[in-house]
Amino acid sequence: MNLSKPSDEELLQLIAKRNADAFEALYDRHAQIIYNLVLRIIGEASTAEELVQECFWQVWQKASDYRGAGAGAAWIYRIARNRGLDRLRQRNARPQTVALEMEEAPRVFAQYGQLPSVETTVERSWEQQQVRQSLASIPEEQRVILELAYFEGMTQSEIADYLSLPIGTIKSRVRLGVEKLERLLGATGLRRGDL
C-alpha cells in the first residue's frame, strides 16, 4: 500500500488500527517540522530529538483519540508543542538542588530501608544524568530500540513488530547499543553493576 498520498487524517485512522506503515509515513511527513518546532521552544538539539520521539510515541498510543476536529497535522503539532512547553516548565520549575521525586520515594525507601542520604541522592542523580547523556550519544537506530526495551518494557519480538524490522536486526542493534552504552558509561567510571 502506497501511503505517501493519504491525508494526515486518514493516516491517523490507520495508526489507530496499529498500522505501522501509516505511522512511518506520518513520521516521515512531519518529524522534521516537529523537530524544528520543539527546538525553537527548548533550544537544545538532543532534548528536541527526545521530544520528537515522545511526541510520535504519544501519536502511536493516542491516535484513536483524534476525532477529526481540525487538521490532523494541527493535532500532532499541538502534542509536540505541549511536550516542549511541559519540558521547559519542568526545567524552569525544578530547583537546582537534587530533589527526590515523590513517585520514586517508595522504591528508594524500600531499597535503602530509609530515605537516602543527600550523598546517595546526588550520586543517583549524577548516574541518571550519565546514562541519559550516554544514551543520547549512541546512534538513534540503536537508542530507540534500547529505550523501547528498557524504558517501555517491550520484548525484542514486540519491538520487531512495532518497528516492522526483522528480529535479527533488533537483536544486533540491541547488542551494539548495549556495547556502546557500556563503553560510554565505563569512560565515566560507571559499570553495569553500579546501575
Whether residue 171 has pLDDT greater than 90: yes
d(CA 79, CA 50) in angstroms, rounded, equals 14
The C-alpha cell that represents 103 in the structure block: 513517585
CATH code 3.40.50.720 for 1-94: no
Inter-axis angle of helices 8-16 and 45-62, nearest 10:
70
Whether residue 169 has pLDDT greater than 80: yes
CB count within 10 Å of CB 57 equals 14
The C-alpha cell that represents 94 in the structure block: 525544578
When pLDDT is averaged across residues 165-180 and rounded to a whole number, the result is: 91
Task: Answer whether 0.85 is exceeded by the pTM.
Answer: no
CATH 1.10.1740.10 boundaries in the chain:
1-94
pLDDT in tens, 131-161: 777 877 888 888 888 878 877 777 888 888 8
**Greater confidence, 114 or 87?**
87
Question: What pLDDT score does 26 carry?
Answer: 86
In CATH terms, 96-195 corresponds, of 2.40.30.10, 1.10.10.10, 3.30.70.141, 3.90.920.20, to 1.10.10.10
Contact indicator for 160, 170 with CB cutoff of 8 Å: yes
When pLDDT is averaged across residues 72-81 and rounded to a whole number, the result is: 81
Whether residue 90 has pLDDT greater than 60: yes
CATH 1.10.10.10 boundaries in the chain:
96-195
